[in-house]
Amino acid sequence: MSDDIWILGINMTKFGKHPDLDTVDLAAQAAMAALADGGVTMADMGVLAAGNLIGGGGLGQQLQKQIGQTGIPVYNVSNACATGATALRTAIMAIKAGECDMGLAVGVEKLAGAGLLGAGGTAKSDKNVYEPSGRYGAVTNTDGRIGTNNMPGTFAQIGMEYGHKYGGTSFELFAKISEKNHSHSTLNPLAAYTKKMSLEQIMGDMMIAYPNTRPMCSANCDGGAAAVVISGAKLKTLSLEQQRRAVKVSASVLTSDPWSESCQVLPDVNTLTRMASTQAYEQAGVGPADLDLVELHDCFATAELVHYDNLQLCEQGGAVDFFNSGAPWRDGTMPVNVSGGLQSKGHPIAATGIANIWEVCHHLRGEAGDRQIQGARVGLAHVIGLGSACGVHILEKSAA
């Protein structure tokens, strides 16, 4: 088995609308920038993991034609909203297995104009009755438990369920979470939206699925992100500057839904994330109190609240008190989504997992500019996709 794994180079494109660029263009832009950031070239890579959800497959080979075909193994990765994190983990596992000492992970998506309700916002049927069809339609959707089969409705009800169980939630509380993230985004030039929004603006905007209005939902957009990972042994052969900027991957965890006595066919975002965070803390040898910042999967404002609890940033049932304490603001004791989160930074699905890691890396390197969390040494990046998959990475500042 190989020794420690490090992120040598990492980059993301600006998220937003890129009508003149396709997925390969965006992936190449991110990949070349990540290689340059690490001071290496495609010739140094021993594996390529390319994540893309909507494009139909084969991105890795298409990307090679733009950035260099060197005969290395290519893995095309698709794993819901955890696609980018899974691509990174694929490259990490190849290095840990001893197959190579350096690899490239890329995530990219074209989603601008896709609509809030999924692929184009189109209905699955023009009938007025619910007719589950096929293996997926019959057993793995969320209808029956929370009454909807689209993401806004699903996560709206997850937030409402948390409030019903523990109390303290309200429309205004969830809107305040979104207010925080939109405020944070004003310091992130790569975010799709960098506009500060008042609580009144957020609450008064178009209702998508109560209690989430439009600004409280993740923004579909175009974007790419890429990371170069390297073994600790190989890193020691590089320059002192490369060693100084490298970020240690202390934990890389991927989970799926566990067996549940109540029902095996419905997703449970709470158990999924809590399992991943527990494994990650154990793997990294740190606890939630050791974290200096967190980038979590706030696909909706309601999701952010429940993931405070699932990532164990607070005691179980204490997410409302945690938020009300001011802890997750940029100047709080546990900054969460300093990038602006998915609600502002945007959510080009396959790119998000690596983009969240990009944000954490920049704080650990001391390169986050105006939004820098001073003295940051340990950070956590989290993504979750229904279906289901949850990726958690814990990252640490280099001691070099």
DSSP notation for 28-55 = HHHHHHHHHHHT--GGG-S-EEEE-SSS
Q: Tell me the mean pLDDT in the region 97-120.
A: 81
- Please give the residue that has the higher pLDDT: either 258 or 109: 109
Q: Is the pLDDT of residue 116 over 70?
A: no
Tokens 């699925």 sit at which residue?
Answer: 209
Going by C-beta distance under 8 Å and a sequence separation of 6 or more, which residues neighbour residue 156? 148, 208, 209, 210, 211, 212, 300, 302
Phi, psi for residue 131 in degrees, rounded to 5: -130, 95
Query: What local confidence, expressed as pLDDT, does residue 374 receive?
Result: 97
Q: What percent of the chain has pLDDT over 90?
A: 81
**What is the mean pLDDT of the segment spanning 359-380?**
97
Q: Judge contact between 311 and 336, C-beta under 8 A.
A: no
Predicted local distance difference test score (pLDDT) of residue 152: 86
Contacts of 134 (CB under 8 A, 6+ apart): none
Q: Choose among 336, 349, 284: nearest CA to 310.
A: 336
Place of tokens 């650990």: 364
pLDDT confidence tier of residue 119, bands split at 50, 70 and 90: very low
- The pLDDT confidence band at residue 1, using thresholds 50, 70 and 90, is very low
Q: Is 343 within 8 Å of 196 (Cβ atoms)? A: no
Structure token pair of residue 364: 């650990």
Domain ranges of the chain: 5-113+220-395
**Residue in the block written with tokens 């197959």:** 99
pLDDT of residue 136: 55
CATH architecture under which domain 5-113+220-395 falls: 3-Layer(aba) Sandwich (3.40)
Tell me the per-residue pLDDT of 60-87, one tens digit each, with 9 for 90 and over. 999 999 999 999 999 999 999 999 999 9
Tokens 């040598």 belong to: 8
Q: What is the pTM of this model?
A: 0.92
- Decide: 253 and 380 in contact? Cβ < 8 Å: no
Is residue 145 scored above 80 in pLDDT?
A: no
SS3 189: coil
- Higher local confidence (pLDDT), 42 or 128: 42
Peptide bond into 388 cis (omega under 30): yes
Give the tens place of pLDDT for each residue, 319-339: 999 999 999 999 999 999 999
Whether residue 151 is predicted with pLDDT greater than 90 in this model: the reply is: no
